[in-house]
Amino acid sequence: MDAIEIILDGGLFSADVVARAAHRYTGDYYAETVSTPAGALVRLTPKTDHVSTALLAERFRNDALDERLRERVRTETGELHTSLVRAALQQAAPLLTAGQEQ
Amino acid sequence: MKFVPQDAFAGNTGYRLLPLRFRRLPWDDDRVLVTSMAGDWLIAQHKDFERVVEGKLDCTEPLFAEMEARHLIAADPNHSTLAPLLSQYRTRKSYLEHGPALHIFVVSLRCHHTCAYCQVSRQPVGNTIFDMSEATAAHAVERLFEWPAPTLTVEFQGGEPLLHFVRVRTLVEAIEQRNRSEGRTLRFVIASTLHDLTDEQLAFMRDHQFELSTSLDGPEWLHNANRPRPERDSYQRTIEGIERGRKALGEDAVSALTTLTRRSLEAPHEIIDEYRKLGFHSISLRPLSPYGFARKTEVRNGYPMADFLQFYEVALDHLLAINREGYFMEETYGRMLLSQLLTPFSHGYVDLRSPTGAGLGAVVYDYDGRVYPSDEARMLASMGDHAFALGRVDESVSAWLDSPAMQRVLAAGVAEALPTCADCAYVPLCGADPIDHYARQGDTIGHRPTSDFCRKQMGLFDLLLQRWEQGSATDQRILEDWALRATRRGIAREAEAA
């Protein structure tokens, strides 16, 4: 089966974003990502004949854009997320006896 | 009198994003489901959501207030508090507070059935070496009360637990004796075929307020094909058992579960109609799991998860039609997912927890004295894989929690930290199942794009959300009723369904 190649602008899409988007396709496709001077090259090869390749490049580009949004949310909220979970669950932490304190 | 302009009331017109996740709706690519870290959510146009992330949402837009109310953004950090979000998160995770409430005692592996999909590798009726000994039972009772849960659900399983009822009896008596000083709330459940149920057994169960959970796979032809006995009368015996159980313990004390084989997938209406005919108001439609004999017979009985989801869609629409006719009937797993979607409350369903319910929500005391964090872990053990044995009943609970098996479960047990799940809009409402992933994929963390667990969860969440969003006012009310009933039943009752 022929692979489908998609090139994404390296200035817009970080390597992490490209890898995350490609990972979502690893159920039905073998995925390869390569950094090239033209940008990030993604090669998707269907694992079986039954896998649809209709609008595959278009779907991938949409997903990459969504991953870019997620990256932006992560960057802005990552630290806050950790602090909030810690604060919320503080009450659920077991009380340590003197001998157990670290 | 003249009103001052609107901008005179606005404080800081900016906002900051709060932790959130999103997913394009499969039935409408232009819209997204956006969820907060505590599982509150809304549906928005994708282009509007992009503006939110880019910091371009204007505080006068209706979406601004909606996103703020659902803790997806915070306006004016000097005047807003995140305390409600923390409270909501704690409420959603409150199942963490008390430790395992569901305690499964496997009193015997013996069974008179020869089901091809048996997940526990049952043993022939005469093989009493597969019965729980008195010494093992005594240790298990000691361990049971080492856990702090104020409500303990004690579920007897097998094999067929009625074949070793003497152990059920001694365990109940020992637990109640010990509870005189402990003061916990106790629930006893027995998972049984209900065949050969004696009057004496029923009297004991009535005295100790047992609930009965049995397997009914649908109409006679299907049940007998799925659950054969040499006499070919499995269906008839089950029906008699249900009737006798209801008579002795009350209508609501008997529930039934359906395990779906490939042939079951062709009969969604017939299965549901059978339950209605028998007066059930609840049905559990469970796909096959990859354990025990079910794995050996997978080629014959198994099917892809996509086929299950197709089946479920037809079944859900049939259930909605039945409810519209005025007969209340719910599907238990759908009810749990709806309660996650439509209410802010916690639940006891072990499969939908993060951190995982394995070992944190449930414990299994096997017939041979080994202890497991879930029924699936003991099913793996019955296939010769003891990877998740926590220890033995004569060891302490703290030793089990420190065991390599438990550490392995915990390391892959937080859904919010798993690859792909970490970004999934459904993760605040979903759970982690490291043992299921190990069983299916050989790895506790697992690979989500090929995970059947993930396909099932996502497929069902999408279906239920779509039916709720696009359904008539009547269908919405029916689905909301399912969700609210789930929360009313409380932690202990839901744990039993796991």
Q: Are A85 and B90 within 8 A, CB to CB?
A: no
* CB contacts, 8 Å: A84 with chain B: 19, 37, 82, 85-86, 89
Binned at pLDDT 50, 70 and 90, residue B379 comes out as confident
Backbone torsions φ then ψ of B392, nearest 5 degrees:
-120, 165
CA atoms within 13 A on the CB side of B90: 16
* CB contacts, 8 Å: A77 with chain B: 17-20
Closest CA to B279 of B262, B259, B313, B255: B255
ipTM of the complex: 0.91
Strand partners, B31: B45
* CB contacts, 8 Å: A91 with chain B: 90
For chain B, domain boundaries: 13-92, 94-401+484-496
Distance CA B245, CA B157 (A): 17
Chain A residue closest in CA terms to B451: A27
Q: B398-414: b or e for each residue (b if 16 or more CB lie within 10 Å)?
A: eebbebebbebbbebbb
Alpha-helical (H) ranges within B281-403 are: 292-296, 298-301, 305-324, 332-342, 375-382, 397-402
- The 10s digit of each residue's pLDDT in B78-92 is 667 889 999 999 999
* CB contacts, 8 Å: A85 with chain B: 37, 89
* CB contacts, 8 Å: B17 with chain A: 73, 76-77
Terminal C-alpha separation, chain B? 64
For chain A, domain boundaries: 4-89
Distance CA B245, CA A81 (A): 50
For tokens 């079910």, name the residue. Answer: B294
Average pLDDT (B38-64) is 96
Q: Are A26 and B450 within 8 A, CB to CB?
A: yes
Q: What is the DSSP letter of B149?
A: -
Distance CA B366, CA A40 (A): 53
- The 10s digit of each residue's pLDDT in B96-132 is 888 999 999 999 988 876 666 666 566 777 777 889 9
Beta-carbon contacts of residue B377 (< 8 Å; ≥ 6 apart): B358, B364, B387, B388, B389, B405, B435
| Interface size between A and B, measured as CB pairs under 8 A | 65
* Superfamily of chain region B94-401+484-496: Aldolase class I (3.20.20.70)
**Coil, strand or helix at A6:** strand
pLDDT above 90 (res B479): yes
- The 10s digit of each residue's pLDDT in B317-367 is 999 999 999 999 999 999 999 999 999 988 778 888 999 999 999 999 999
Q: B125 vs A45, which has greater pLDDT? A: A45
Q: Choose the closest CB to A77 out of B17, B96, B447.
A: B17
CA atoms within 13 A on the CB side of A9: 4
Beta-carbon contacts of residue B191 (< 8 Å; ≥ 6 apart): B155, B156, B157, B158, B161, B213, B214
Q: Are A27 and B450 within 8 A, CB to CB?
A: yes
Average pLDDT, chain B: 90
Q: Choose the closest CB to B423 out of A70, A76, A91.
A: A70
